[in-house]
Chain A
């Protein structure tokens, strides 16, 4: 046993150069398994029921609203001429934007070797999948006759006609369905070793069977890990262009049209930055309470919260730049319609929506420049909710404000949502939180094997006791 021989050879690192370790209090791999698995194996905490019951009721409300809308028609929504897209598409874009942080954390940060991602990637990926589910409901039902949704896919039919692939709406079908499928697979592949952890700890027959079945007989063989890590790297490499393309294609739904306010080339990068911004907002909203309620402070540390605040600040500033650039281009283009569309955004009848967006997305996130703010969890939590509100209003501004005053003043109207719009939107929160709470109760919400891999105990060249506590 030569576990301590190397410590003499390690050069002493000055204290100010040491990074805060990714897992604090020098927790061992065994502790990590026990801590994360206890969330599943222990008694259901009271707060879980307090959150779960209203979520299920809201999810039931969603089902009721969808049944009402499908059986009656899209007229139950507030959409009317000229605002033919409203809350349905706002909420679609909003939810799918939230879904972007999960893949960013799991794929892009993996390629950039940001090891802190391991503590948050599992729950962020779950958030992605559930957010994309909520998003997917809207385009499916907004067509009115949901029983014809399969027309969207190139399936041979008795009419002998095919979808028209020059439309960005068709691109969207492929982008969103691919995004959902690949995110789900990525999440599942990451789960396989952790399902094996749960299988090996399981005390009841049903748990042994189900975790055993879904872990596919994973043994932790290094020959398997070798192929597994390669597959994970490739999936990360594939998901990176995927996540950038999905919101780009969503933005093309708007940018390819001729409408002032939509017809801009800045949309793809601006939508992607906004999506990541809102996704990190939602990750912070979910994880700040969860790390406390689940006692995960040693795994999701203040350093994690701090870096996520910085990502939010960076993407929020990109979004702010895009808002400014849109205005500049509207003026610089010389097109009176473009100029009108943008002046109408800021000073028209929906001025309040525009200024809520600016305040929540551009002004408040600037507070993240200050370390004191980033380390005050209450303020971070409130700011993360403001980010979500701001990003909802961004889509409101783009969709409703651009549509409500067309080229001819005879085509002007003031859009108001109906109660069905509002109840459906609230219902999607019910679905989202129901799925998320079930996930965190039955599946390991922290990537156990990945977090173990970033502890100093996992480094074969620096056995326990090594000074390299906070390796990057």
Chain B
């Protein structure tokens, strides 16, 4: 049985997070690479079951925060001590203490931009067209069902073997997803 080129992958439906997690462990141990689990809420322990590494979002946020703090300090120093110095109440033209509150806020602002931008970038979102979103059953992934999807692009893809594996993991409903 050959898989046509227009098939995106195989979709297996599960009714509990425990079943989906056990299936994920099996798929991980079978050595698949292009596959994913879809859940209506983040399932605790699923990252480990899938063999995912710690998310790299933190680095984006860190870079954002450092940029924010430096921008704040340099901006205030340049504006109030270099470009247009005004002496107020005998205070120094630039002091890291007076410049701290705005720089602190900018650290948080750009750190938050970094976290959200990093999350969207790593997830390759927004992506409004996805083969799964056209699939009839898949709408339940945001409701109360759990799906394991193995893509045809995976080097180990073999429909018969995958069906066996997912059935053994407890899925009652296994379907092909069109591209």
Q: Which of B96-150 contact A (CB under 8 A)?
A: 98-99, 101-102, 104-106, 108-109, 111-113, 115-116, 118-120, 122-123, 125-130, 132-133, 138-144
Q: Chain A contacts of B123 at CB under 8 A?
A: 221, 223-224, 227-228
Interface residue? B160 (CB, 8 A): no
* In-complex Cβ contact of B18 among A3, A162, A166, A199 (8 A): A3
Q: How far is the CB of B38 from chain A (nearest CB, A)?
A: 5
A222 with B106: in contact, given A200-B143, A458-B17 (CB under 8 Å)? no
User: Does A219 contact B111, Cβ atoms closer than 8 Å?
Assistant: no
Interface residue? B61 (CB, 8 A): yes
The stretch among A129-137, A181-189, A296-304, A314-322 that forms the contact with chain B is A181-189
Interface residue? A464 (CB, 8 A): yes
Interface residue? B12 (CB, 8 A): no
* In-complex Cβ contact of B80 among A160, A165, A213 (8 A): A165
Nearest residue, chain B, Cβ from A249: B101
| Cα A200 to Cα B141 with chains together (Å) | 9
User: Does B80 contact A222, Cβ atoms closer than 8 Å?
Assistant: no
User: Does A460 contact B18, Cβ atoms closer than 8 Å?
Assistant: yes
Instruction: Summarize B's interface: helix, strand, loop or mixed.
Output: helix
A33 with B118: in contact, given A166-B80, A231-B57, A249-B101 (CB under 8 Å)? no
| Cα A111 to Cα B79 with chains together (Å) | 37
Residue-wise, chain A 165-207 has the 8 Å CB interface mask toward B (1 for contact) of 1111011001100100110011001000100110111000000
Interface residue? A449 (CB, 8 A): yes
Q: How many A-B residue pairs have CB under 8 A?
A: 222
| Cα A227 to Cα B138 with chains together (Å) | 21
| Cα A458 to Cα B39 with chains together (Å) | 10
User: Does B57 contact A227, Cβ atoms closer than 8 Å?
Assistant: yes
Q: Chain B contacts of A223 at CB under 8 A?
A: 36, 50, 52, 123
* In-complex Cβ contact of B144 among A30, A168, A199 (8 A): A30
Interface residue? B153 (CB, 8 A): no
Q: Which of A204-263 contact B (CB under 8 A)?
A: 212-213, 216-231, 234-235, 238-239, 241-242, 245, 249, 252
Interface residue? B30 (CB, 8 A): no
Interface size classification for chain B: 35 or more
| Cα A196 to Cα B41 with chains together (Å) | 12
Interface residue? A149 (CB, 8 A): no
A217 with B130: in contact, given A224-B123, A463-B16, A463-B18 (CB under 8 Å)? yes
* In-complex Cβ contact of B102 among A170, A241, A459 (8 A): A170
Nearest residue, chain A, Cβ from B101: A171
A217 with B39: in contact, given A3-B18, A231-B57 (CB under 8 Å)? no
Q: How far is the CB of B77 from chain A (nearest CB, A)?
A: 9
Q: Which of B34-60 contact A (CB under 8 A)?
A: 36-47, 50, 52, 54-58
User: Does A234 contact B109, Cβ atoms closer than 8 Å?
Assistant: no
A218 with B105: in contact, given A162-B84, A231-B57 (CB under 8 Å)? no
| Cα A186 to Cα B116 with chains together (Å) | 9
| Cα A196 to Cα B128 with chains together (Å) | 11
Q: Chain B contacts of A249 at CB under 8 A?
A: 101
Q: How many residues of A contact B (CB 8 A)?
A: 71
User: Does B80 contact A171, Cβ atoms closer than 8 Å?
Assistant: no
Q: Which of B19, B38, B123, B130 has the most CB of A within 10 A?
A: B123
Q: How far is the CB of A160 from chain B (nearest CB, A)?
A: 7
A178 with B16: in contact, given A217-B127, A449-B40 (CB under 8 Å)? no
User: Does A29 contact B116, Cβ atoms closer than 8 Å?
Assistant: no
Q: How far is the CB of A235 from chain B (nearest CB, A)?
A: 6
User: Does A238 contact B98, Cβ atoms closer than 8 Å?
Assistant: no
Q: How far is the CB of A186 from chain B (nearest CB, A)?
A: 8
User: Does A197 contact B122, Cβ atoms closer than 8 Å?
Assistant: no
Q: Chain A contacts of B108 at CB under 8 A?
A: 178, 182, 238-239, 241-242, 245
Interface residue? A372 (CB, 8 A): no
| Cα A212 to Cα B139 with chains together (Å) | 12
* In-complex Cβ contact of B43 among A196, A234, A460 (8 A): A460
User: Does A461 contact B105, Cβ atoms closer than 8 Å?
Assistant: no
| Cα A161 to Cα B141 with chains together (Å) | 56
Nearest residue, chain B, Cβ from A450: B41
Interface residue? A54 (CB, 8 A): no
A181 with B109: in contact, given A193-B142, A223-B36, A223-B52 (CB under 8 Å)? yes
User: Does A231 contact B118, Cβ atoms closer than 8 Å?
Assistant: yes
User: Does B91 contact A226, Cβ atoms closer than 8 Å?
Assistant: no
Interface residue? A163 (CB, 8 A): yes
User: Does B105 contact A220, Cβ atoms closer than 8 Å?
Assistant: no
Interface residue? A453 (CB, 8 A): yes
User: Does B106 contact A221, Cβ atoms closer than 8 Å?
Assistant: no
Known A163-B79, A231-B55, A238-B108; 14 more pairs at CB < 8 Å: A33-B144, A162-B83, A219-B133, A219-B141, A221-B36, A222-B38, A223-B52, A226-B52, A227-B56, A241-B104, A241-B108, A245-B108, A457-B16, A463-B18
B-contacting residues of A (Cβ < 8 Å)?
A: 1-3, 28-30, 33, 154, 160-168, 170-171, 174-175, 178, 181-182, 185-186, 189, 193, 196-197, 199-201, 212-213, 216-231, 234-235, 238-239, 241-242, 245, 249, 252, 449-450, 452-453, 457-461, 463-464
5 interchain residue pairs of minimum CB distance: A231-B119, A216-B126, A230-B55, A30-B144, A171-B101
The 25 listed contacts between A and B (C-beta, < 8 Å) are A29-B40, A33-B142, A160-B84, A162-B79, A165-B102, A166-B91, A167-B88, A175-B101, A196-B142, A200-B140, A217-B128, A218-B125, A220-B40, A222-B52, A223-B36, A226-B52, A227-B123, A228-B123, A231-B55, A231-B115, A234-B57, A245-B108, A453-B41, A459-B44, A460-B17
